[in-house]
Structure 1
Amino acid sequence: MTYETDSDTPTIRRLDDVPTGAPFGWLVQTLNGHDERLMNNVLPADFPYEVERGDAGDALAAIAVREAMHRQIEDQRGSRVREAVELGASWNEVAAALGVTTDDARALLRAWAEGQHRLYRRDVERAPDHPLGLDPDQYLAVLALTERGDDEQAEGAGR
């Protein structure tokens, strides 16, 4: 599926209607269209310009698209934290970027790593040649990142 024009936009009323793997930019653009129509509902009935007003379908689509965006963002939090630390960011820097404590930032990475390791253990049975997730060595390497000091940075990492 392409994601370029309004004609490519599926009717969205439920989260399941949002195309799997839709690019984030497309989600934003789709949400903006629904939000614009919904915002037009507050304009007076005698507004001097013709505007398209939102309906319940727009409100449902906005909810579903926002949820898809939220899930996509949440799914990437752990991997981005991992990348930041591997690329040289300190835990203080990561925590500041997240707006949390360093302990909370480490806990986020640990939880993500555990989920990825569980995924690997389940997926290795389905696709033994190319399982998804973190294998045992990768899992331990990510956990080792959480043992760094708050100001410690990866040696030789590019910033």
Structure 2
Amino acid sequence: MSTPEYELWADLDVRRPDDVRMISGRRVPLSWQMEKHAGHVDRLMNSTLPANFPDPVERGGAGDVLAVLALSESIRRDLTARRAGDIREAVRLGATWSEVAAAIDITPDEARAILRDWTERLHGLHQIDAEAGEVQRLGVEEDRHAAVLALIELADDQRTETGRHD
């Protein structure tokens, strides 16, 4: 079933990563971006078919290539923005730092650094709100910050006590 938001997205010509912005107050889901990306790639692949190809196909052009480039960049940015949170979840749910590092082809210490940078930035946002006497809107409060720091301190092959390994 199609939603009005999805229809807006489906009709949008993407030529720059910033064309992928919020629709109705929420970020365009990665699945929608990837679906649109695949459609452009399919049309570009059709352009390689012989001119006398028996079935009618929609062939891609420059607009499709530009959309592929812009969507690829938007998807990359979204995945990069999620990376630290995904690292946190993996360790919290029982993955070891060695396993996380292998999954993203870096060292355990590099994976820890990604998570440490992320949690320190979020904690800093919380502290700014707290110092201003505002209700916390951004960032990570003290107990969540401490919990992430505890995850960072786990040894390379140590699992969380409560984490499960699937």
Q: Same fold (TM over 0.5)?
A: yes
| Runs of 4+ more than 6 Å apart | none
- Alignment length, in residue pairs? 158
Bigger drift between 148-157 and 124-133 goes to 124-133
Equivalent in 142, 145, 153 of residue 147 of structure 1: 153
Confirm or deny: 8 A CA contact 1:15 1:67 kept in the other structure.
Answer: yes
In structure 1, give the amino acid aligned to 2:77.
Answer: R
Deviates further, 91-100 or 5-14: 5-14
TM-score w.r.t. structure 2 length?
0.81
Task: Compute the displacement of 1:6 (Å).
Answer: 8.7
2:47 counterpart SS class: helix
Residue of structure 2 in register with 1:17 after alignment: 19
Partner of residue 31, structure 1: 37
Q: Are residues 1:91 and 2:97 paired?
A: yes
After TM superposition, the structure 1 = structure 2 runs for residues 102-141 of structure 1, keeping only pairs within 5 Å, are: 102-121=108-127, 128-141=134-147
Question: How has the CA–CA distance of structure 1 residues 48 and 6 changed in structure 2, closer, same or farther, with 3 Å as cutoff?
Answer: farther
Summarize the Cα distance change of 1:14–1:103 in structure 2 as closer, same or farther, 3 Å threshold: same
Task: Give the Cα separation in 1 of the matches to 2:9 and 2:116.
Answer: 42
Deviates more, 1:78-87 or 1:123-132: 123-132
Match of 1:58 in 2: 64
By how many angstroms is 1:123 displaced?
5.5
Amino acid across the alignment from 1:2? E
Q: Cα distance, 1:27 vs. partner?
A: 1.0
In 1, the alpha carbon distance for the partners of 2:72 and 2:128 equals 29
- How has the CA–CA distance of structure 1 residues 7 and 89 changed in structure 2, closer, same or farther, with 3 Å as cutoff? closer
1-side partners of 2:137 and 2:50: how far apart?
56
Question: What is the distance in 2 between the residues matched to 1:46 and 1:34?
Answer: 21
Q: Who is 1:68 aligned against?
A: 74
SS of 1:42's equivalent in the other structure is: coil
Q: Does 92-101 or 29-38 show the bigger shift?
A: 92-101
Query: C-alpha separation between the residues in 2 aligned to 1:123 and 1:39?
Result: 50
* Structure 1 residues not aligned, in runs of 5+: none
* Further displaced range: 69-78 or 125-134: 125-134
Q: Aligned partners of 2:13 and 2:133: how far apart in 1?
A: 34
Is 1:2 matched with 2:5? Answer: yes
In structure 2, the gaps of 5 or more residues are: none
Letter in 1 for 2:88: R
CA displacement 1:28-79 (0-9 Å, x = unmatched): 1101111111112222223222221112211111111111111111111100
